[in-house]
Structure 1
Amino acid sequence: MNFKVLRIYVDSYKIVLNNGSVSKIYLLHICYIKRNKEYLYSMRTIFMKRFEKHTMPLGMVGVIVYILHTVIGNLLWDEYNPITMDISSLTAVGAPNAELLKIFTGIYSICTILFVAGLIVKAFRKYHFLVRTGYIVMMIMELISLFGYSIFPLTGDKTDMNFQNIMHIIVTVAVVFTTITSGFILAFGYLKQENVYRLGRFILVMVIIITVTGATNPIGIGKGLNILGLTERLVIYSLQFMMFVLSFYYTFNNKEKEYTLE
């Protein structure tokens, strides 16, 4: 056996002998860890299994928190119009209740990033490179969203094309592009594996809906329809629905909860 010694130390103990005298004994302790490949692989597998188990439900939690932030923000701001005003206006600089709503978006970001991290771990364990790539691109999207919107929130007057608002738009374009890209990669990746073919079809339908509704944003702005809030919600809520279903599937599907050492 191949062992690695971690620590050596000595403990002393006092004992009372039959004649009433006191004596001291010393015990040598050697802490070691088995160093062979089977043990290390087993420990890694246990960690991955627990990580997957605890991160899969976070997708649903994140979606619920995100929807709550849009609903609560709308209820607390009397002048807010969800048809004409985009979601980012709720947390824009100077918006009422922006600091409160940022707590919700912060929780959402943490839950979603951990959820996608769990999906990446699962993909590397079970699926081929397309699914792995899809979830890595999705993680890039989540990180861009987290840091981009935190650093460049909308200013009070979103029609003012200052540096901050321009960067906010660039972040939005990057998020939309990586969302659509990851969706198509995942759809085709799942479709190539027979046991998750239906999941692939679902993702394909959702990413097509996201793409089509996403195209209505610039069209509506170009035609002066003043429905940015509505068209943006069609995109965002479609994405959130897809994330919720993925989380639900991997949390409650009995076959997916099985974990075998391969």
Structure 2
Amino acid sequence: MNILQILAICGMLAPIIYTVMWILGGIMLDEYSHIRDDVSSLYAVGAPKRWLFQILMILSSVLLLAFSIGLHWGINNGEGSIIGPILFIISAFLGVIVASFFPLDEGGELVTLRGKMHLILIVLSGIICIASMVILWLLTKSLEGWIGFAWFSFASAIVALILVAISGIFAGGEHMGLVERFMVSYYQIYYFVISLMMFINN
């Protein structure tokens, strides 16, 4: 097993840990609702067992960042444009920053600058990730072993953009948590698939 495959395993573990985190939230916290509450509320200021969920969130984000650092070299031995992988790194890095320093305010609210920065950085990270999906489609659509992924990446950019828009519509509503989970789960699937592709092709 080489270093790129190890980084790919990090990438595959990241979405698993993230998903386990919010599932645990629903199991451990009676007042927490997957239908109503967003994932970030699990580690908001003053949230019950916040330390556990924040640790899991940081771990997931750091693993994804580790994977993203090797992505350029994991695709066609580093030949071709570096733009897509760089955008992926930026998106993953923002995830680490948010998880570490910008939790939501108490009750999952957006009151302080810190809480508002949480939302701003999360949205920015998501948009940058969508842009990387498009660039990675262009980068891989002619590469042997990556062509199927290329079209998955292109379709993922469209699906993610639609889900982000729908999540915005439902923000603050009774079904915000449910809609958000469809969105974040699609991102997690993408992270797992691209990590698996890097593992297989290296």
Whether TM exceeds 0.5 here: the answer is: yes
Aligned match of 2:15 in 63, 87, 108? Answer: 63
The answer for the alignment partner of 1:52 in structure 2 is: 4
The answer for the alignment partner of 2:40 in structure 1 is: 88
Q: Distance in 1 between matches of 2:97 and 2:76?
A: 26
Alpha-carbon distance, 1:225 to partner: 4.1
Deviation per CA, 1:226-253: give whole Å up to 9, x if none: 22212211111101111111222222x3
Task: Name which one, 1 or 2, has greater alpha-carbon Rg.
Answer: 1
Deviation per CA, 1:186-215: give whole Å up to 9, x if none: 112212435522110111122211111110
Aligned match of 2:149 in 185, 188, 199? Answer: 199
Instruction: Name the CA shift for 1:150/1:79 in 2 (closer, same or farther; >3 Å).
Output: same
Alpha-carbon distance, 1:101 to partner: 1.4
Higher helix share: 2
The DSSP-based 3-state class of the residue aligned with 2:146 is helix
The answer for the alignment partner of 1:73 in structure 2 is: 25
Alpha-carbon distance, 1:100 to partner: 1.1
Q: Distance in 2 between matches of 1:198 and 1:204?
A: 10
Aligned match of 2:169 in 200, 207, 219? Answer: 219
Alpha-carbon distance, 1:156 to partner: 0.8
Higher strand share: 1
Q: Distance in 1 between matches of 2:192 and 2:105?
A: 31
The DSSP-based 3-state class of the residue aligned with 1:70 is helix
The more displaced of 138-147 and 226-235 is 226-235
The DSSP-based 3-state class of the residue aligned with 2:108 is coil
Instruction: Name the CA shift for 1:125/1:62 in 2 (closer, same or farther; >3 Å).
Output: same
Instruction: Name the CA shift for 1:198/1:160 in 2 (closer, same or farther; >3 Å).
Output: closer
The answer for the alignment partner of 2:100 in structure 1 is: 150
Number of aligned positions between the proteins: 202
Q: Percent identity?
A: 26
Runs ≥4 residues deviating over 4 A: none
Q: Distance in 2 between matches of 1:160 and 1:244?
A: 30
CA contact (8 A) 1:187 1:201 kept: yes
The answer for the alignment partner of 1:22 in structure 2 is: none
Report matched runs for 1:65-144 at 5 Å: 65-123=17-75, 125-129=77-81, 132-144=82-94
Extract unaligned runs of 5+ from structure 2. Answer: none
Extract unaligned runs of 5+ from structure 1. Answer: 1-48, 258-262
Q: Distance in 2 between matches of 1:225 and 1:89?
A: 14
Instruction: Name the CA shift for 1:84/1:69 in 2 (closer, same or farther; >3 Å).
Output: same
Q: Distance in 1 between matches of 2:58 and 2:107?
A: 23
Q: Give the letter for the 2:32 counterpart.
A: Y
Q: Distance in 2 between matches of 1:124 and 1:215?
A: 33
The answer for the alignment partner of 1:229 in structure 2 is: 177
Q: Distance in 2 between matches of 1:66 and 1:77?
A: 17
The DSSP-based 3-state class of the residue aligned with 2:36 is coil
Q: Distance in 1 between matches of 2:43 and 2:32?
A: 12
The DSSP-based 3-state class of the residue aligned with 2:185 is helix
The answer for the alignment partner of 2:188 in structure 1 is: 240
Alpha-carbon distance, 1:138 to partner: 0.7
RMSD: 1.9
TM-score, with normalisation over the residues of structure 1? 0.71
